[in-house]
Chains A and B, each alone.
Chain A
Amino acid sequence: MVIEHLGLNAISGSLVVLDHVKHATFEEMVELRLDNGSKRIGRIVQIDGERVVVQVFEGTKGLSLVNTGTVLSGKPMEMPLSPEILGRIFNGVGEPVDGLGHIYPETKRNVNGTPINPVSREYPRNFIQTGISSIDALMTLIRGQKLPIFSGSGMKHNELAVQIVRQAKIAGANEKNFAIVFAAMGVKNDVADYFRRSFEASGVLERVVMFLNLSNDPIIERILTPRCALTAAEYLAFEKDMHILVVMTDMTSYAEACREFSSSKGEIPGRKGYPGYLYSDLASLYERAGMIKGHDGSVTQIPILTMPNDDITHPVPDLTGYITEGQIVLDRSLDGVGVYPPVGVLPSLSRLMKDGIGEGYTREDHAPLANQLFASYAKVQDARSLASVIGEEELSAVDKKYMEFGKLFEDRFLTQLPTESRSIEQTLDLGWDLLGYLPREELDRIDGDLLDKYYKPHE
Chain B
Amino acid sequence: MADNKIFGINGPVVTVKNSTDFSMMEMVYVGNEKLIGEVIGIDNDTTTIQVYEETAGLAPGEPIVSTGNPLSLTLGPGIISNIFDGIERPLKTIAENSGDFIQRGSDIPALDTEKLWEVTITAKVGDTLQGGQIYASCPETPSITHYVMVPPLLSGTVTAVSPNGQYKVNDQIIELTDNQGVKHALTLCQKWPIRNPRPIQKRLECVTPLITGQRVIDTMLPIAKGGTAAIPGGFGTGKTMTQHQLAKWCDADIIIYVGCGERGNEMTQVLDEFGDLIDPRTGKKLTDRTVLIANTSNMPVAAREASIYTGITLAEYYRDMGYDVAMMADSTSRWAEALREISGRLEEMPAEEGFPAYLPSRLSEFYERAGIVETLCDKTGSVTVIGAVSPQGADFSEPVTQNTKRFTRCFWALDKALAYARHYPAINWISSYSEYDTDLARYMEEHVHPDFMKARGQLITILREENKLMEIVKLIGADVLPDDQKLTIEIARVIRVGFLQQNAYHKDDTYVPLLKQYKMMDVILYLYDKGRELVSNGVSITKLVENGLFDSLVKMKYEVENDHLEKFDQYKENIDKAIHEITGK
Please report A residues at the B interface, Cβ cutoff 8 Å: 23-28, 46-50, 76, 110, 112-124, 144-145, 238, 267-271, 275-277, 279-280, 283-284, 286-288, 290, 292-295, 312-315, 318-319, 321-323, 325-327, 346-347, 349, 351-352, 354-355, 367, 371, 374-375, 378-379, 385-386, 389-390, 394-396, 399, 441, 444-445, 447
Contacts and interface: CB of A to CB of B under 8 A. Distances in A.
Contacts of B269: 123, 355
Given A118-B294, A313-B394, A444-B554, 7 more contacts: A118-B83, A119-B95, A123-B268, A292-B100, A313-B392, A386-B473, A394-B477
A267 B55 contact: no
Contacts of A271: 353-354, 392
Given A118-B267, A318-B235, A394-B477, A367 B505 contact: yes
Contact of A115 (B58, B296, B420): B296
A318 B301 contact: no
A288 B8 contact: no
Contacts of B92: 119
Given A116-B264, A117-B95, A280 B60 contact: no
B347 A268 contact: yes
27 contacts: A25-B58, A28-B57, A49-B60, A113-B101, A116-B101, A120-B100, A121-B265, A123-B269, A124-B265, A238-B100, A276-B337, A277-B11, A280-B261, A280-B301, A283-B261, A290-B264, A290-B265, A292-B100, A294-B100, A312-B393, A321-B234, A326-B236, A379-B421, A386-B474, A390-B477, A399-B477, A444-B555
B8 A49 contact: yes
B350 interface: yes
Nearest to B545: A441
A313 B420 contact: no
B334 interface: yes
Interface in B354-377: 354
B340 A76 contact: no
Q: Chain B's interface: helix, strand, loop or mixed, by majority?
A: mixed
B445 to A, nearest CB: 32
Interface in B246-268: 259, 261, 263-265, 267-268
B21 interface: no
Contacts of A25: 56-59
A351 B57 CA distance: 36
Contacts of B299: 115
A379 B59 CA distance: 61
B264 A121 contact: yes
Contacts of B265: 121, 123-124, 144-145, 290, 325, 352
Contacts of A389: 474-476
A402 to B, nearest CB: 13
Contact of A396 (B17, B297, B479): B479
A24 B344 contact: no
A387 to B, nearest CB: 9
Nearest to A118: B267
A382 to B, nearest CB: 8
B505 A354 contact: yes
Given A118-B296, A318-B235, A390 B476 contact: yes
B497 interface: yes
A333 to B, nearest CB: 16
Given A26-B9, A271-B353, A374-B422, A395 B477 contact: yes
Contact of A270 (B261, B272, B354): B354
A378 B341 contact: no
Nearest to B301: A280
A18 to B, nearest CB: 13
Contacts of B57: 25-28, 76
B395 interface: yes
B390 interface: yes
A279 B295 CA distance: 14
A294 B422 CA distance: 35
Nearest to B10: A46
Contact of A117 (B94, B301, B334, B393): B94
B271 interface: yes
Contact of B7 (A49, A294, A355, A444): A49
Q: Which of B236, B390, B394 has the most CB of A within 10 A?
A: B236
A120 B95 contact: yes
Contact of B341 (A27, A276, A315, A326): A276
B395 A47 contact: no
Nearest to A448: B555
Given A118-B296, A276-B341, A326-B236, A444 B497 contact: yes
A144 B548 CA distance: 45
A385 B100 contact: no
Interface in B44-96: 54-61, 83, 91-92, 94-95
Contact of B392 (A76, A145, A318): A318
Contacts of B393: 312-315, 318
A371 B59 contact: no
Contacts of A121: 264-265, 267-268
A288 B297 CA distance: 11
Top 7 nearest A-B pairs by Cβ distance?
A313-B393, A283-B297, A321-B235, A27-B56, A378-B421, A287-B298, A118-B267
Q: Which residue, of A49, A115, A267, has the highest number of chain B Cβ atoms within 10 A? A: A115
B551 interface: yes
B103 interface: yes
A292 B264 CA distance: 11
Interface of B: 7-11, 15, 17, 54-61, 83, 91-92, 94-95, 99-103, 234-236, 259, 261, 263-265, 267-269, 271-272, 294, 296-299, 301, 334, 337, 340-341, 344, 347, 350, 353-354, 390, 392-395, 420-423, 473-479, 497, 505, 548, 551, 554-555, 558
Contact of A47 (B8, B340, B473, B555): B8
Nearest to A344: B420
Q: Which of B8, B393, B473, B558 has the most CB atoms of chain A within a 10 A radius of its CB?
A: B393
Contacts of A110: 56
Given A123-B265, A270-B354, A322 B235 contact: yes
Nearest to B422: A374
A279 B56 contact: no
A26 B497 CA distance: 57
Contacts of B505: 354, 367
Contacts of B59: 23-26, 47
Contacts of A399: 477
A118 B264 contact: yes
B352 to A, nearest CB: 11
Nearest to B350: A268
A25 B392 CA distance: 35
B111 to A, nearest CB: 16
Contacts of A23: 59, 61
A315 B398 CA distance: 13
A114 B421 contact: no
A144 B475 CA distance: 46
Contacts of B55: 26-27
Contacts of A321: 234-236
Contacts of B261: 279-280, 283
Contacts of A120: 95, 99-101
Contacts of B61: 23
Given A271-B353, A385-B474, A441 B551 contact: yes
Given A25-B58, A46-B9, A49-B7, A268 B344 contact: yes
Nearest to A390: B477
Contacts of B334: 279
Contacts of A371: 422
A314 B265 CA distance: 25
Given A119-B83, A327-B236, A386-B474, A315 B392 contact: yes
Contacts of B264: 115-116, 118, 121, 287, 290
Nearest to A358: B505
B247 to A, nearest CB: 16
A132 B308 CA distance: 42
Nearest to A124: B265
B462 to A, nearest CB: 19
